[in-house]
A and B are shown apart, each in its own frame.
Chain A
């Protein structure tokens, strides 16, 4: 068991190309060898029992029914050296500063357009641009208060930002739960070395949300707005509300009064709400402003927000920058707004909107990953070198029908880490989703949620499509 297998030509997070542990992973790799497979399997089984007992679930949809599944977790953690992490953290903060300045600019003066940096026609067909938000000015100029950016590492060890989730990113509760479970599985290692704690997140989240309250409110009331128990991330909504001591509300629990203030219905009557951490998509937030058929939202919520009587996080319309086409401009936006060079790399991105880039994509489709610009959850993704002829033909037809909605990137060799697979440790591909908070100040989680593709060779890490997860250790070396 001592030698951990890796894939030739790919980066492994725990061991180098000679099979030697990387410095930050040395203690872990030694421990894995010491324990042996039988003991590791036992700890894996115990962890899975903990997950069922603690009710850590996510919901998948099948035949129109939501089914609660136990959260898939692999006990072997993914390790990142603390000094590398500090560089990544700096890059993420820089990125979010620029993205927030961009969103604020787009809904207000559009300097970035006037200065010729960002072509406005890109927003003509944007499904995430909200005309209803024009002229709004949320506190601190921040729109994307909570961001989950997906990071991947290529074969040469470079960390890339793959996408920024600026609407309602989820996964942070699983990051926290994974840590709770992995502390039980590897208690000894936590006492031997310095692994950065992740538990501060919910306090930071609460502080950030409270800072958004309308001016003059002493002890603001923060609520978490959920679409309800049948949402796939309901577990997380409940978890975060619990940890923050905030009320978990559904649309029907809130009402906007004649004074344009938001209230919740309580056993004492109506109580004022100052900050809404919404986990509902823009389009369902307020049937008066967006989809009139939405039963999930709160009629009048946008009115209250525009009047400055309530803060909404993330702000409506923040998703305009959560778009794989806008993504291609992020390095330019960082240079433009901050006069700095990007600290974190963007993956080269071809925009099918432009004929020359589109032709390149169609000609080289076998070497590229094709992505819809506005989908999340991995749906509609095509990996060129694994797709059948029919799938490729369909993808080309889709691109030609709606070029604005498609982008393509080179196929990265996602890094791997040893993962428990049928009683063996096998290398499996993974990514990392850190969470970045922006309010009056910024905060980045220590690591984030590592998602792992459990099927051999698979690059799809989404839990809705058979992905698993790992704890992420930021280790001081």
Chain B
């Protein structure tokens, strides 16, 4: 038995914590990649705003887009609902009302993460302390994930948690790819020399570099990276891998007949995608389509588990 309200909170709690984790990874990696590029080459921080999908909100509050403004906005700004600090707070707020279905240590882990981000959020802005802050956010999120994996009964609550987590994760993977695609469109010859560095950055920001190298044993080239991140279902952050887990979760939840069509649609969309990374425009458009379809899945989940009992 799982209350609709609790199901909704679990699903969103998992999404918000995953969002904090993903955003922390992206910001951390972006910082590292930029440090590898020579002075004057693509040293704009603006792609980060595009990944987070919060360009408009940022522009509303900022005249300039320099490093510390952008990083503060994405990491510690409480006025940005998508910042790391806000995502953790929203995750905690949702999970507060699910404490009786989550393992007790899970609440402690969320609470620790919340207290840490509330206290030290600003240290995520300064370059000297940024990596330490973001790494801690990532490892605390992983601790939470570990508690859920290791101590939670495989019941409906667990499946909703997983569902929220993988849908958010798939969304972030498509955003990172989409931004890379947009960057390709604007490529100048000079930046192209650093193509490999940038694709490595894409892999790193999704914690995929090492696994990519093990799985493909090939060079780091755009088409290989795109194929890995979209289609390699053995990699847990690939879109295909996330969809596979979403499907498994939905099969264990009530009324899969109402939710699975949205996953089928995503699978079909994925199957029709070109795995070439050379055409930035096509990749960018494709990622938009996948995000749109993920939105449909989100609506199906809400309609089935929350609205149906109203």
Q: Interface on A for B, CB 8 Å cutoff?
A: 52-55, 221, 229, 238-239, 241-242, 246-250, 252-253, 264-271
* Measured CA separation A248–B98 after assembly (Å): 9
New A-B contacts (8) at CB < 8 Å, excluding given A52-B115, A55-B108, A267-B306: A53-B108, A53-B112, A250-B5, A253-B3, A266-B3, A266-B309, A267-B156, A267-B253
For B4, the chain A residues whose CB sits under 8 A away are 253, 265-267
* Shortest 4 CB-CB contacts between residues of A and residues of B: A265-B309, A242-B100, A241-B100, A267-B305
Q: Tell me which of B97, B156, B304 has the highest count of chain A C-beta atoms within 10 A of its own C-beta.
A: B97
Whether A238 pairs with B100 at a CB distance below 8 angstroms is: yes
Bound complex: CA of A253 vs CA of B111, how far in Å?
Answer: 26
Mostly, the A contact residues are mixed
A253 with B5: CB separation less than 8 A: yes
Which B residues contact A (CB, under 8 angstroms)?
Answer: 1-7, 96-97, 99-100, 104, 107-108, 111-112, 115, 156, 160, 253-254, 304-306, 308-310
Give the distance to chain A from B255, nearest Cβ to Cβ, in Å. Answer: 8
Nearest to B156 among chain A residues (CB) is A267
* B96 with A229: CB separation less than 8 A: yes
Point out the residues of chain B lying under 8 angstroms from A53, CB to CB. Answer: 108, 111-112
* B interface, over-half SS: helix
Q: How far is the CA of A271 from the CA of B254 in the complex (A)?
A: 14
- Contact with A238, one of B99, B253, B254, B309 (Cβ below 8 angstroms): B99
The answer to whether A265 touches B3, judged by C-beta atoms less than 8 angstroms apart, is: yes
A248's contact among B100, B108, B305, by CB below 8 Å, is which?
A: B100
Q: In the complex the two chains form, what is the Cα distance from A247 to B107 in whole Å? A: 17
A330 to B72, CA, bound (A): 64
User: Can you list 23 A-B pairs with a CB-CB distance of less than 8 A?
Assistant: A53-B108, A53-B112, A55-B107, A55-B108, A238-B96, A238-B99, A242-B99, A242-B104, A247-B6, A247-B100, A253-B5, A264-B3, A265-B5, A265-B310, A266-B1, A266-B2, A266-B4, A266-B309, A267-B7, A267-B304, A267-B306, A267-B309, A271-B1
Query: Which B residue's beta carbon lies closest to that of A267?
Result: B305
B173 CB to nearest A CB, Å? 27
Q: How far is the CB of A66 from chain B (nearest CB, A)?
A: 12
Q: Which residue of A lies closest to B105 (CB)?
A: A54
Would A269 and B108 be within 8 Å (CB), given that A221-B1, A247-B1 are in contact?
A: no
Give Cα distance in the complex from A283 to B253, angstroms.
37
In the bound complex, how far is the Cα of B104 from the Cα of A452, in angstroms?
Answer: 28
**What is the distance, in angstroms, from B119's C-beta to the closest C-beta of chain A?**
11
State the Cβ distance, A415 to closest chain B Cβ, in Å: 35
The residue of chain B having its C-beta at the shortest distance from the C-beta of A248 within the complex is: B100
Q: How far is the CB of B300 from chain A (nearest CB, A)?
A: 13
Contacts of A241 in B (CB 8 A): 100
Identity of the chain A residue whose Cβ is nearest the Cβ of B2 in the assembled complex: A267
What is the minimal beta-carbon distance from B309 to any residue of chain A, in angstroms? 4
Chain B residue numbers with a CB within 8 Å of A269 are: 254, 308-309
State which of B5, B7, B104 has its C-beta within 8 Å of the C-beta of A252.
B5
Using CB atoms, name the residue of chain A closest to B97: A229
Q: Closest approach, in angstroms, between the C-beta of A62 and any C-beta of chain B?
A: 19
- Bound CA–CA A55/B1 (angstroms): 26
Question: Which of A55, A247, A252, A253 is packed against the most chain B CB atoms within 10 Å?
Answer: A55
Contacts of A239 in B (CB 8 A): 99
Within the assembled complex, what's the spacing in Å between the Cα atoms of A246 and B305? 20
Closest CB in chain A relative to B123 CB, distance in Å: 20
The reply to whether B1 and A268 form a contact with Cβ atoms under 8 Å apart is: yes
How far, in angstroms, from A270 to B308 measured CA to CA in the complex? 9
Q: Are A270 and B115 in contact (CB under 8 A)?
A: no
Q: Chain A residue with minimal CB distance to B110?
A: A55
A223 to B6, CA, bound (A): 14
Q: Nearest chain B CB to A70's CB is how many angstroms away?
A: 11
Q: Is the CB of A268 within 8 A of B100?
A: no
Residues in A with CB closer than 8 Å to B112 are: 53
Bound-state CA distance A165–B41 (Å) is 72
B254 adjacent to A268 (CB under 8 Å): yes
CB distance from A221 to the nearest CB of B (A): 7
Which A residues touch B7, using CB under 8 A?
A: 267
| Chain A residues closer than 8 Å to B310, beta-carbon distance | 265
Complex contact A247–B97 (CB within 8 A): no
A247 to B100 CA separation, bound complex (whole angstroms):
8
**Most-contacted residue by chain B among A52, A221, A248, A250 (CB, 10 A):** A248
Give the CA-CA distance A238 to B107 in the complex, in Å: 12
Residues of chain B within 8 A of A55, CB atoms compared = 107-108, 111
Closest residue on chain B to residue A246 by CB atoms: B100
Kindly state the separation between the CA atoms of A460 and B5 in the bound complex, as whole angstroms: 38
Query: Once the chains are docked, how many angstroms separate the CA of A265 from the CA of B309?
Result: 5
Q: Which residue of A lies closest to B115 (CB)?
A: A52
Closest to A226 in B: B97
Nearest to A252 among chain B residues (CB) is: B5
Chain B, residue nearest A264 (CB): B3
CB nearest neighbor in B for A255: B309
Tell me which residues across on chain A come within 8 A of B160, comparing CB atoms. Answer: 267
Cα A264 to Cα B1 in complex, Å, equals: 10
Please report the C-alpha to C-alpha distance between residue A52 and residue B1 in the assembled complex, in whole angstroms.
Answer: 31
Residue in B closest to A269 when the chains form the complex, CB atoms:
B309
CA distance A248 to B6 in the complex (A): 9
Closest Cβ–Cβ distance, residue B100 to chain A (whole Å): 4
* C-alpha spacing A254/B161, complex, angstroms: 23
CB distance from B25 to the nearest CB of A (A): 26
Q: Which residues from A are CB-within-8-Å of B107?
A: 55
Contact between A247 and B3, CB atoms less than 8 A apart:
yes
